[in-house]
Amino acid sequence: MTARCVMVLGTSSGAGKSWITTALCRHYANQGLRVAPFKAQNMSNNARVVPASDGAQGEIGSAQYFQALAARAQPDVRMNPLLLKPEADTHSQVVLMGQVDEALSRLPWHGRGEAVWPRIAAVLDALRAENDVVVVEGAGSPAEINLMATDVVNLRVARHADARCLLVTDIDRGGAFAHLYGTWALLPEADRARIQGFVLNKFRGDPALLAPAPEQLRELTGIPTVAVVPMRHGHGLPEEDGWFGDGTAATAESPGERMTRIAIVAYPRISNLDEFQPLRSVPGIRLVWARDAAQLEGADWIILPGSKATASDLAWLRAQGLSGVIARHAARGGRVLGICGGLQMLGEAVIDLDGIEPAGSGPGLGLLPLVTQFARRKTVSRGAWRFGALHGAWAALSGVPVKGYEIHSGRTVQHPGMAAKGDVARVAIPGMAWHNAAGNVLGLYLHGLFEDADALRALFGVDAPPLEAAFEQLAAAVRQAFAPGTLAALVAG
């Protein structure tokens, strides 16, 4: 059979397409249907490792990974065939079917559409052949008239899949009805007919106050407003773009309360920041996204997360005056954790002989006696490991089994000159994790440490919030918000 496609379009980025798509995946899976998510093209440095068609492993956007879990489906690269990972303001690494494609990465934006569309169409057709419902997520807005001619993620997908579409807007931003009407007005007439309903997302207040706007909008467009979705905080999944706040604390302290303050350095090309979502649910933690030195002061932990441009973000870190604060924090015995690109920054140097990164080679922060050499070949894998013996601040991880994933370019090894002088990094996991002699600075290539139940329990004595509960709550939210019969009608034959 050929699956019915339900497509979630938005009036803008950040309208809430990703989490509504996730909720719909679980809702339809709860009806006993075979469901798969799909997003033809995603632009994000938040990625997960999943099986590829050739038996290898590849990358997809984190949102599609969680959508697959919500659908009770095995995540695979077909669910996000094209992933764009920004490396600079005007350049992205192109990942096609889970693997870096250097030729496509060199093509100008408008030249990629025709090159990639046959692959996109083929995998969408394959997913439709295997499932009852495919829930498709658009990107940005379908009414970007400067991009319509080369579109491979919004209207072209809707036409190919004969999708029934919802148009979602963020009412919390203001101007929601104008956004809905303007988007509808800019669409070609045939594509307007695909929109089955408008969705007002992130609403706070009394829905009765919306009148008479929904009916007036229907008179102008012929399209009903089929859902008013309340603002939801703390739903348990990473936000649409993986961002948890504006750089201030995610959890406020009560008067007289002493919380563990964890500062995560938010450099410009930060990646895989969605893996820190579980920290928001740990009692007694105050999470801060730090962009300047003042936001690092007083931290109990400093975390250097992943980066899509390690050398560039390292230069930014120095320019912002953060490197000195991190060094002083480490010298006082404060905890420092570097993950992936953050691990590379903690070493003595990053070496770029092949011009992999725009910023090239340079000195690291010098907190671990390691050196990293970038390479064109990318390490992309999932696996399970076990920490060896650690002491000091990270001793709780000793012997703890962990599961996670690697996505990085480059190989990190002991600095030979420093080893000759007796300064040797302590291996926590061979080829994967190292710590310093004092035991307070830990660097690892492993992504997903805080998503691992054993690691979270060892570090904080708590259990990770179950994803299943989050998926069910999201499904219940959309079921309650949508007009009766709407969700069933979208997948009716």
Active-site position among 27, 179, 340, 408: 340
User: Do 446 and 478 fall within a single domain?
Assistant: no
Q: List the beta bridge partners of residue 136.
A: 7, 38
The pLDDT of residue 69: 97
Active-site position among 179, 415, 435, 447: 447
Q: What is the Cα–Cα distance from 249 to 344, expressed in whole angstroms?
A: 26
The pLDDT of residue 239: 63
| Burial class of residue 63 in the structure, from the number of CB atoms within 10 Å of its CB (0-12 exposed, 13-18 middle, 19+ buried) | buried
DSSP string, 9-47: EESSTTSSHHHHHHHHHHHHHHTT--EEEE-SEEE-S-E
2 vs 257 pLDDT, higher one: 2
- Per-residue pLDDT of 286-335, as tens digits, reads 999 999 999 999 999 999 999 999 999 999 999 999 999 999 999 999 99
34 is written with which tokens?
């075979």
Q: Is residue 247 part of a domain?
A: no
- Per-residue pLDDT of 112-140, as tens digits, reads 888 899 999 999 999 999 999 999 999 99
Q: What is the Cα–Cα distance from 257 to 51, expressed in whole angstroms?
A: 45
User: Do 272 and 386 fall within a single domain?
Assistant: yes
Q: Is residue 249 part of a domain?
A: no
Sheet of strand 335-339: strand arrangement: 285-290, 260-265, 301-304, 335-339, 441-444, 433-435, 426-429
Going by pLDDT thresholds of 50, 70 and 90, the confidence category of residue 108 is confident
Q: What is the Cα–Cα distance from 26 to 59, expressed in whole angstroms?
A: 22
Q: Is residue 127 part of a domain?
A: yes
Q: Is residue 166 part of a domain?
A: yes
- Per-residue pLDDT of 372-427, as tens digits, reads 998 888 899 999 999 999 999 999 999 999 999 999 988 998 888 887 777 788 99
Q: How many CB atoms lie within 10 A of CB 259?
A: 16
Half-sphere exposure of 108 (CA within 13 A, CB side): 4
User: Do 458 and 475 fall within a single domain?
Assistant: no
User: Do 356 and 277 fall within a single domain?
Assistant: yes
User: Do 197 and 291 fall within a single domain?
Assistant: no
Task: Please give the mean pLDDT across all residues of the chain.
Answer: 91
Sheet of strand 41-43: strand arrangement: 41-43, 82-88, 91-96, 99-100
The pLDDT of residue 248: 38
Q: Is residue 248 part of a domain?
A: no
Is there a catalytic annotation at residue 5?
no
Choose among 259, 239, 243: nearest CA to 251.
259
Q: What is the Cα–Cα distance from 78 to 81, expressed in whole angstroms?
A: 5
Q: Is residue 433 part of a domain?
A: yes
Contact status, residue 80 vs residue 60, Cβ threshold 8 Å: yes
DSSP string, 181-196: HHHHHHS-HHHHTTEE
User: Do 422 and 439 fall within a single domain?
Assistant: yes
Going by pLDDT thresholds of 50, 70 and 90, the confidence category of residue 255 is low
Choose among 149, 129, 147: nearest CA to 139.
147
170 is written with which tokens?
């963020």
Query: What's the CATH number where 209 sits?
Result: 3.40.50.300
Is the pLDDT reported for residue 145 higher than 50?
Answer: yes
User: Do 295 and 321 fall within a single domain?
Assistant: yes
Choose among 9, 21, 90: nearest CA to 478.
21
- Determine the structural domain holding residue 317 and report its residue range: 260-464
User: Do 81 and 51 fall within a single domain?
Assistant: yes
Structural domain total, the chain? 2
Choose among 156, 114, 138: nearest CA to 37.
138
Is the pLDDT reported for residue 365 higher than 80?
Answer: yes
Peptide bond into 37 cis (omega under 30): no
User: Do 153 and 288 fall within a single domain?
Assistant: no
User: Do 460 and 476 fall within a single domain?
Assistant: no
Q: Is residue 243 part of a domain?
A: no
Question: What predicted TM-score, i.e. pTM, was given to this entire model?
Answer: 0.90
Q: Is residue 246 part of a domain?
A: no
Contact status, residue 319 vs residue 386, Cβ threshold 8 Å: no
- Per-residue pLDDT of 158-205, as tens digits, reads 999 999 999 999 999 999 999 999 999 999 999 999 999 999 999 998
User: Do 308 and 451 fall within a single domain?
Assistant: yes
- Per-residue pLDDT of 452-462, as tens digits, reads 999 999 999 99
User: Do 226 and 289 fall within a single domain?
Assistant: no
Q: List the beta bridge partners of residue 383.
A: 404
Identity at 469, one-letter amino acid code:
A
Query: What's the CATH number where 331 sits?
Result: 3.40.50.880
Helix%, strand%, coil% for the chain, nearest 5: 35, 30, 35
Is there a catalytic annotation at residue 340?
yes
